[in-house]
Structure 1
Amino acid sequence: MPQRYIKKILEARVYDVAIETPIDKAPALSKRFNNEILLKREDLQPVFSFKLRGAYNKMMHLSEEQLSKGVVAASAGNHAQGLSMAALKMGVKATIVMPKTTPQIKVDAVRSRGAKVVLHGDTFDEASKHAYQLMEQKGLVFVHPYDDPEVIAGQGTIGMEILRQHNGPLDAVFVPVGGGGLLAGVAAYIKYLRPDIKVIGVEPEDAACLKLAMEKGRRAVLPQVGIFADGVAVAQIGKETFRVIRKTVDAVITANTDEICAAIKDIFDDTRSIAEPAGALALAGLKKYIEQNGCQGQTLLAIDSGANTNFDRLRYISERTEIGEKREAILSVIIPERPGSFKRFCSDLGKRNITEFNYRYASQKEASIFVGVQTSGQPEDREELVQALADKGYQVTDLTDNEMAKLHVRHMVGGHAPFAAGEEVLYRFEFPERPGALDKFLACLGSRWNISMFHYRNHGSAYGRVLVGMQVPKKQRKQLKPFFDKLGYNYTDESDNCAYQQFLSAQ
């Protein structure tokens, strides 16, 4: 039962290495949403994330014999840094298996704390399997990042601090979810002492393993996991964590990439700190909860779980923020191809600012423009904008939620390719990002089909994103799926995507 965790949390040994982080009010957010919004600042830990708590508590429960053998873990980031610091404090040898795609800044951070880093595989699953092999071969003790009672109890000290630090009304606590260790620990403690407080888990839309388990009533594996919020990119919720969560958590909310980016900006505006995507996830869920429930005058707290992000990613985050705040609409609009059409379009927009405008001459009759338009931030404003343009005779397609349009099309130049008509297909891929990865990807594609379009952009994350057009005769189309499955990369067929059809297709 979850109640057994109360004693564990109260006795957890975390403060030899971790600090009791403050709860900060977010004044700008609170004013904007007419609720008191609080942030639990786990980004201020010595390793810039909460993971230190669970890792150290687990190690404090190991025997002298176990500690003498050394510990091993698989991690691409926060757990690795937390465990390496805990091991350094206790004088224990630590081996961390990290995917080869791990950014160098994180590898260096782990090594600087005395841990041995083993780079293996392109994914966390490959690294994890190798870590278990090392455990068997060398007799090391495996420290799980979330699915362990002592790790859960260590993370649960955050819930204990929240209730101790905040004595006033508290309506809901929002917690980011990956494998579930943080949510299980926090929910077990808060629900035991204050069952009136709602505890709500928040997941990325493209990595919602807890939501899947809740819907099925059992743990299940996601067929594909999004990688933007890498700190919570987990395909299956933990076994022990799910046992606790299903008895203590009130609801699960999901947030998309744009909403997470907007939350990163919100945290920066109120604290002048930069959260990692997983760190801002709980706030993204909090904002969505207010929108869905029309909350007024409530006290809501989000756990800012970490700040371990790469500087290179900030460009991408900044690009997506305005859409996440619903302050920008991305539209495809067809206007007449004649002098004065653009001026008339701007006049028809009224006092709205144009944030982006992409156009290439393609026809003597009409022009397809890719345009960003400023909106008020109210959900209905975008709908009113699209309807207003349609009423003025424009053919409008709303691309604001079109991932391919935002990732690729808005950055591409060129236009239609009539010579490829009838044969071109379009696919979007994700492949591990590391030196030589693009060359390897192209080598895997080989020369079987002619590449008619290609767009690649480095977003500073562990995975690269590529958009590829290929000329494939119709009689060979059935060969594509088994061929791509054999490549082993995540892929999406975008041949029917409206953004492609309007701006880049061969037709």
Structure 2
Amino acid sequence: MLEAYVKKILQARVYEAASETPLSAAPMLSKRFNNQIWIKREDLQPVFSFKVRGAYNKMASLTPEQKAAGVIAASAGNHAQGLALSAKKMGVKATIVMPCITPDIKVQAVRALGAEVVLSGDAFNEALDHARTLIAQHGYTYIPPYDDPDVIAGQGTVGMEILRQHPDPIEAIFVPVGGGGLAAGIAAYVKYLRPDIKVIGVEPADAACLKAALDAGERVVLPQVGIFAEGVAVSQIGETPFSILKDHIDGVITVSADEMCAAVKDIFEDTRAVAETSGAVALAGLKKYVQETGVTDRTLVCINSGANTNFDRLQHIAERTELGEQREAILAVTIPERPGSFKQFCTVIGERMVTEFNYRYAKGDKAHIFVGVRVQPGGEDRAALIQQLESADYPVEDLTDNELAKLHIRHLGGGRALHSFEEEAYRFEFPERPGALMRFLSYLPEGWNISMFHYRNHGAAYGRVFVGLQLPREDLSQLEEHLDSIGYRYWKETDNPAYRLFTA
């Protein structure tokens, strides 16, 4: 199998549309992690993503009749732009079906390349269903984003370039995994020619479809997929990529949203490139590999797979970077409600830098404060800080890894309610489109009251919403049945300590 893919990769027609991108040294990262770290710069492609390689190679394999019919794809971003550019180069009509929630910057980028954009549905699967309808109606030729041998061969040219650009020993190549086309292409080429080099896939922890498939021994469908790194937010690994990866990938590393944000910053500091979160996934995995294995003086390569990010999303990424680098601890600390207690608390903290301090008087003789403190990376310093506070008789709840605390509580004002009442708390992901809130409200039965609501734009296709609901006790058993019918992802947060301490 690998020999056949190597031949296809060597014959791939990608350079009529794509560029051979540089393998850039990362001196600051290399010094920090005591290894020679290199970044493959796919962000420098004409459409700022590697996707143009596979799209063009697939189109180059089409018959004249297939081209004359026009091509179509369903995509929310990088594949759409890669196909649009490829079609423009070949003079072929292209139609791209995109979810209605796709940020306007990506829609306009595809239109600027001459493709027709059709907006349909709130999610990729809905857009794909509409694309299939258009294929049935008009006979368009479908260009898949990853599950196709020609697409895989096009993406595999990334691996071919890496081996040519760095013929010396390489410990491992870290590859972002969504549907698996890029990872499969690189693994096929590298494992055939240089089996000593590890090929390691990296996935978001909440979209780890390859890891799930490897664990199960077969392809599985994830019940939910996180969309923070939308470029790799895929619920099931591709069938053709998995046929390669199940035997030729050396492992999969999963990373958090905070770790991806920290990697965005790392790439910027060494290359001045602003990667999208999915573009920084591979570096986040590389860093984790070094921390877990302790390797030194090795050559490690990661792929910056793309730079198609919204500018207004950078604020959110910057906020999460310190947490991703484990340089900030987020704590809930209980202090006495009396004059001078804050000063006494700061005395215990000592010379440490306080990055955030939120407090509003509630009632009683105890106060709960939400505090951010600068700590050293690695976790040991955070543990020492917590022990230091507890030794001074301050009860502490560590919220550093609490998503509700990071997304909502730290930005909420107003404090706790004056009088206690029954309330259920839920966190939602709403599609960023007109009418999303009204859709939510219209599904709530009469007699249910919204007692708290917090929303903050993160520059992504989905907004994060925190809601408090009051409802009759007899309706509690039907609550989640109603929420399921809305179709938005949600998490119950009623028992979350961040909610209990600061808003309940």
- TM category (shorter chain) comes to over 0.9
Q: 1:237 corresponds to which residue? A: 237
1:51 aligns with 2:51: yes
In structure 1, C-alpha distance between the alignment counterparts of 2:208 and 2:174, rounded to whole Å: 15
Query: Contact 2:439–2:486 (CA<8 Å) still a contact in 1?
Result: no
SS of 1:3 mapped into structure 2: helix
1:378, CA displacement in angstroms? 2.4
Residue-by-residue CA offset, 1:62-82 (whole Å, 9 max, x unaligned) = 000110001000000000000
SS of 1:301 mapped into structure 2: strand
1:474, CA displacement in angstroms? 3.0
Q: 1:148 corresponds to which residue? A: 148
SS of 2:372 mapped into structure 1: strand
1:168, CA displacement in angstroms? 1.4
In structure 2, C-alpha distance between the alignment counterparts of 1:493 and 1:420, rounded to whole Å: 19
In structure 1, C-alpha distance between the alignment counterparts of 2:473 and 2:442, rounded to whole Å: 23
Residue-by-residue CA offset, 1:164-201 (whole Å, 9 max, x unaligned) = 00011210000000000000000110010000000000
In structure 2, C-alpha distance between the alignment counterparts of 1:18 and 1:377, rounded to whole Å: 39
SS of 2:2 mapped into structure 1: coil
Amino acid at match of 1:494: E
Map 1:80-91 onto structure 2 (within 5 A). 80-91=80-91
Query: Contact 1:332–1:371 (CA<8 Å) still a contact in 2?
Result: yes
Query: Contact 2:337–2:364 (CA<8 Å) still a contact in 1?
Result: yes
Map 1:268-283 onto structure 2 (within 5 A). 268-283=268-283
1:475, CA displacement in angstroms? 2.7
Map 1:420-435 onto structure 2 (within 5 A). 420-421=420-421, 423-435=422-434
Q: 1:174 corresponds to which residue? A: 174
Q: 1:405 corresponds to which residue? A: 405
In structure 2, C-alpha distance between the alignment counterparts of 1:81 and 1:436, rounded to whole Å: 27
Map 1:113-124 onto structure 2 (within 5 A). 113-124=113-124
Q: 1:30 to 1:187 in 2, by over 3 A?
A: same
In structure 1, C-alpha distance between the alignment counterparts of 2:113 and 2:335, rounded to whole Å: 59
Normalising by structure 1, report the TM-score.
0.98
Q: 2:450 corresponds to which residue? A: 451
Amino acid at match of 1:362: A
Query: Contact 1:356–1:371 (CA<8 Å) still a contact in 2?
Result: yes
Query: Contact 2:448–2:472 (CA<8 Å) still a contact in 1?
Result: no
Which runs of 5 or more structure 1 residues have no equivalent in the other structure? none
Q: 1:352 corresponds to which residue? A: 352
In structure 2, C-alpha distance between the alignment counterparts of 1:104 and 1:138, rounded to whole Å: 26
Residue-by-residue CA offset, 1:391-445 (whole Å, 9 max, x unaligned) = 1111000000000010000000122225452x20001111211133223323333
Amino acid at match of 1:435: P
1:326 aligns with 2:326: yes
SS of 2:370 mapped into structure 1: strand
Residue-by-residue CA offset, 1:331-358 (whole Å, 9 max, x unaligned) = 0000111111111111111211000000
1:301 aligns with 2:301: yes
SS of 2:281 mapped into structure 1: helix
SS of 1:452 mapped into structure 2: strand
In structure 2, C-alpha distance between the alignment counterparts of 1:22 and 1:168, rounded to whole Å: 16
Aligned length: 504
Query: Contact 1:56–1:83 (CA<8 Å) still a contact in 2?
Result: yes
Q: 2:389 corresponds to which residue? A: 389
Query: Contact 1:420–1:471 (CA<8 Å) still a contact in 2?
Result: no
Residue-by-residue CA offset, 1:69-108 (whole Å, 9 max, x unaligned) = 0100000000000000000000000000000000111001
In structure 2, C-alpha distance between the alignment counterparts of 1:447 and 1:463, rounded to whole Å: 27
Query: Contact 2:72–2:96 (CA<8 Å) still a contact in 1?
Result: yes
In structure 1, C-alpha distance between the alignment counterparts of 2:452 and 2:131, rounded to whole Å: 40
Aligned CA RMSD, in angstroms, stands at: 1.0
In structure 1, C-alpha distance between the alignment counterparts of 2:417 and 2:46, rounded to whole Å: 54
Query: Contact 2:99–2:122 (CA<8 Å) still a contact in 1?
Result: yes
In structure 2, C-alpha distance between the alignment counterparts of 1:77 and 1:62, rounded to whole Å: 23
Which runs of 5 or more structure 2 residues have no equivalent in the other structure? none
1:310 aligns with 2:310: yes
SS of 2:318 mapped into structure 1: helix
In structure 2, C-alpha distance between the alignment counterparts of 1:414 and 1:114, rounded to whole Å: 49
In structure 2, C-alpha distance between the alignment counterparts of 1:465 and 1:446, rounded to whole Å: 22
In structure 2, C-alpha distance between the alignment counterparts of 1:290 and 1:46, rounded to whole Å: 32
